[in-house]
Structure 1
Amino acid sequence: MSQDGPGVDLPTSIGYLLKETATALRTAMEAVLRPLGMTVTHYSCLELLAQRPGSSNSELARGTFVTRQSMNVLLQTLERDGVVTRPSEARSGRVMPAQLTERGRRDLAAATAAVRGVEDRMLSDLDEDDRAAARRLLQSMVRSLRGADPTPAASGPQDDDAG
């Protein structure tokens, strides 16, 4: 944006509004997860492991938008705390698939309820048709930006929250 000419009209810029929404959502999620001893990345990791047991460090990093190194640190902490288990040695290559423990499932249940409350609050002014339309529009935007690559987090990990 140049100071000499017109720039982006922030109140109507979809990109700016998406970033503002994402920031507000993350802040609200952190607020409800903090008392549970979690970050958004920690919660996201547990949610992914519940849905995709045996995920590798790399898969979890992509799904939570952090680097492999940050995910490795988080997994080591979660393993030490008895939330996940990983084999002591890789069965092939360097992949050490992670699994939730019973404690991990309990922690996830509490976090999921808290996060669901945040999402319900975020969507409270929308009826079901508006919610469905919002999902379709956001999915379309992601597909357009990723082009032909349907892989989640195809843009690569970010390191906003190391866990």
Structure 2
Amino acid sequence: MSQDSMEIDLDTSLSYLLKQAHSVLRSALDTALRPLGMTVPQYACLELLAQRPGLSNSELARGAFVSRQSMNVLLQSLERERLVSRSEQPSAGRTLPVELTPLGRERLQAASAAASAVETQMRQRLNTTEQRQLRDLLASCIKALSDS
């Protein structure tokens, strides 16, 4: 088999297009969150805590797409900024519960608005049906790879 037959057409490769979309989205989110003094992983962590209270450090790390070690550092920085608080007593086992503070909820509200504006811009050229189809297709791709 020659090397030419193994080449990937980057213009039609789904994985390449998804990586490109991720890169552009991440850059837009970074730009939108920077004036708020927040990073994308910090925003993701605050959003996860607001929507799913009681998540463990490992669950937060998976949800924010960072390592457990990075999540621990991230939580320490959010705690120093008084955006989250952690109990000194574990709720179950060794897990220290993390909660949003009032300041954390306030900052999250501004960050959510900024992230929402980026998503609105991203889907502005898609009609409602296309948006639903894109969500369904991406969910199918995720499931196909998760089932492997």
Partners of 2:92 and 2:121 lie apart in 1 by 45
Is 2:25 the counterpart of 1:25? yes
Which consecutive residues of structure 1, in runs of 5 or more, have no partner in the other structure? 149-163
TM-score (norm: length of structure 2): 0.95
Q: Is the 8 A contact 2:47 2:108 kept in 1?
A: yes
Aligned-CA RMSD value: 1.4
The aligned runs of 1:4-19 (5 Å cut-off) are 4-6=3-5, 7-19=7-19
Is 2:133 the counterpart of 1:107? no
Encode CA deviations 1:119-155: one digit per residue, 9 max, x unaligned. Answer: 111100000000000000000000000007xxxxxxx
Is 2:94 the counterpart of 1:118? no
Q: Is the 8 A contact 2:91 2:97 kept in 1?
A: no
Partners of 1:10 and 1:57 lie apart in 2 by 37
The alpha carbon displacement at 1:114 in A equals: 0.5
Partners of 2:15 and 2:91 lie apart in 1 by 43
Encode CA deviations 1:19-67: one digit per residue, 9 max, x unaligned. Answer: 0000000000000101111111000000000001121111100101111
Which amino acid letter does the alignment assign opposite residue 91 of structure 1? S
Q: Give the match's secondary structure for 2:94.
A: coil
Whose RCO is larger (CA < 8 A, sep 6+)?
1
Percent identical: 51
The alpha carbon displacement at 1:89 in A equals: 2.7
Which consecutive residues of structure 2, in runs of 5 or more, have no partner in the other structure? none
Matched residue, 2:53: 53
Partners of 2:46 and 2:113 lie apart in 1 by 13
Partners of 2:101 and 2:38 lie apart in 1 by 16
Q: Decide which moves more: 110-119 or 80-89.
A: 80-89
TM-score (norm: length of structure 1): 0.86
Change (3 A) 1:107 1:147: same
Which amino acid letter does the alignment assign opposite residue 53 of structure 1? P
Which amino acid letter does the alignment assign opposite residue 71 of structure 2? M
The alpha carbon displacement at 1:92 in A equals: 3.3
Q: Give the match's secondary structure for 2:124.
A: coil
Partners of 2:70 and 2:85 lie apart in 1 by 17
The alpha carbon displacement at 1:91 in A equals: 3.4
Encode CA deviations 1:65-117: one digit per residue, 9 max, x unaligned. Answer: 11111100111111121101111132332201111111011000000100111
Partners of 2:78 and 2:2 lie apart in 1 by 48
